[in-house]
Amino acid sequence: MLPNDSLTRRELLRRSTLVLTGTLLSADTILAGQAPASAGAANPALIEDLVAASRILAREGIVDAFGHVSVRHDRDRNRYLLSRSLAPALVTPEDIIEYDLDSNPVNANGRALFSERFIHGEIYKARPDVNAVVHAHAPSIVSFSVSTIPLRPIYHMSAFIGEGLPMFDIRQAAGMTDMLVSNGDRGRALAQKLTTKTAVLMRGHGVAVVGPSLPFAVGRSIYLELNARIQGQAMGLGGGVTYLDPEEARKVIESGENRSYERAWELWKRQVSGQR
Ligand SMILES: [Zn+2]
């Protein structure tokens, strides 16, 4: 017996909807209606600082066309703010998207999302003390991510390295991959490696740097890259290298890490103001 024509059409429609749903969900977007509820508008000053952070990191060469910075939402600790997929130097307040901690967007409105946003969401879940996260492929840090030579604090500005930083090798966490932290499982594995530290190196990829605020996360990113560059140069001189003793590093931090980056933040913000 031939199938009823109208049933066949309905079945075809159902099947094409399923295919479409699968395509949309796998393509870094989420269907309208499934978006989590918004925590409400974030403080405009926080959005301005996030935009400035993005532009500062680009100006300092920590990020280029790739890399990103996020901040925890000031009205809900289970939400964070991150720009749409865009070169950091081009970010404006209109590009900022709100996410839940599973990295589902609240208000994407069809905009492209960073595939590695899970770095941010999973770190905010694991680290209640963290309110800002930077992910970068800063070149001198990448050198140390593939070397057996550990990155160590070379001067007082990078005392936050302490006794060293953990290394995340995505191959150990997820086997052979495209190297990207592009799902919750990989993000969780990265956050577990970070433990209580200020940053985690990512083998053959880059780094995730955290802080209690944007100035700390941005400042640490800048001085971590500088430390890597200086350490490489010092080692290249050929003699021995004297690093900060762990006790010296601890005393620097106890006396106020780089004066909470307040002076630097004022300068860096000024340098990127008027760029838009
Ligand atoms: Zn990356």
Going by pLDDT thresholds of 50, 70 and 90, the confidence category of residue 33 is low
pLDDT digits (tens, 9 = 90+) for 194-218: 999 999 999 999 999 999 999 999 9
What pLDDT score does 275 carry?
73
11 is known as an active-site residue: no
- Ligand 1 mean position to 54 CA, how many Å? 15
**What's the pLDDT score for residue 101?**
98
> Of 24-33, 146-155, 173-182, 225-234, which range is least confident?
24-33
Pairwise pLDDT comparison (275 vs 56), residue with the higher score: 56
- What is the Å distance from ligand 1's center to 9 Cα? 44
Ligand 1: centre distance to CA 254 (Å): 32
Q: Are 252 and 159 in contact (CB under 8 A)?
A: yes
* Ligand 1: centre distance to CA 182 (Å): 9
Question: 11, 94, 98, 116: which is the annotated catalytic residue?
Answer: 116
